[in-house]
Amino acid sequence: MTADQLSLLAPATPRYQASTTTARLLVFNVQHASPERARRQAAWLAAQESADLMVLTEVGTGPGGTALTTALAGHGYASVLAPEPAGRDYRTVLASRSAELEPRPSGIAVLPHRAPCATVRIGDHRLTLLGLYVPSRGPKERRNEDKRAFQQDVSTTLPGLVARCDGPLLVAGDLNIVEPGHTPHHSVFGDWEYDFYRSFAAAGLTDAYRHLHPDAVEHSWFGRSSNGYRFDHAFIATTHTGRLLSCRYDHEPREQGLTDHSALVLKLTLDEDHL
């Protein structure tokens, strides 16, 4: 695919009608799926009522990525934003069940295909969605170079994005870092990675899951030693936290072998009385 914005012509009727009063977001790492697994992922995603909007991370640019976006159209997703990297790399894809995704510049210049941004109209309201897929540590000869550069650019850019959004703003994806005080503690993470997490709060964003579940221990990915990590996150502009209805992890796709990550599901009311 060569176009950033995929105009999916005549998509099928979706299984669920998108809400016009609530933003329903699902965050899902596809684990660079093969075409066959990508089609199974799309079927599972389309069967989730909460997946009106999606942030899909670790999406390849080869046959698996093409199969995923094509299958989403077949399941009724009317708008997909799938940026193309300049070279060989994973990307982040945004998808919407009915409302058109209107691409907008995020200001992120480092690996921008990992950080697509769009505005979407839900009923009478406009919401801005930024998807993120932070690079992993990378090969030994370039250890952490891409991760540090991307994180620094995101941290620098977020305050301006928050300031420019007069409506609800959601920033979500696989950050490949855990929060300070994470249970269990993982010594592999350095202060610079915890500083990246803290930069969201400094920019005026709140961790939606932690806001609603201040003491819960939850994980979205498990390493070879079976230790858990909460890698997948959703942040909301702090001025709009009163809109949050729910935020939870759905372990079904990981337990079924569709991917190695759990999904993150968020619901946000657009009713002005919740401000």
- Nearby residues of 245 by Cβ (< 8 Å), 6 or more positions away: 22, 267, 268, 269
Give the integer Cα–Cα distance in Å for 266 and 240: 14
pLDDT per residue as tens digits for the range 31-51: 999 999 999 999 999 999 999
Give the rounded percent of residues in the chain with a pLDDT score beyond 90.
81
* Banded model confidence at residue 185, pLDDT cuts 50, 70, 90: confident
Q: Give the three-class secondary structure for 173.
A: strand
- Answer whether residue 4 shows pLDDT above 70: no
pTM of the predicted structure, to 2 decimals:
0.93
Q: 253: which strand partners?
A: none
Question: What confidence score (pLDDT) does residue 274 get?
Answer: 59
pLDDT per residue as tens digits for the range 125-177: 999 999 999 998 776 667 789 999 999 999 999 999 999 998 999 999 999 99
Which domains does the chain carry? 5-274 (3.60.10.10)
Question: What confidence score (pLDDT) does residue 11 get?
Answer: 56
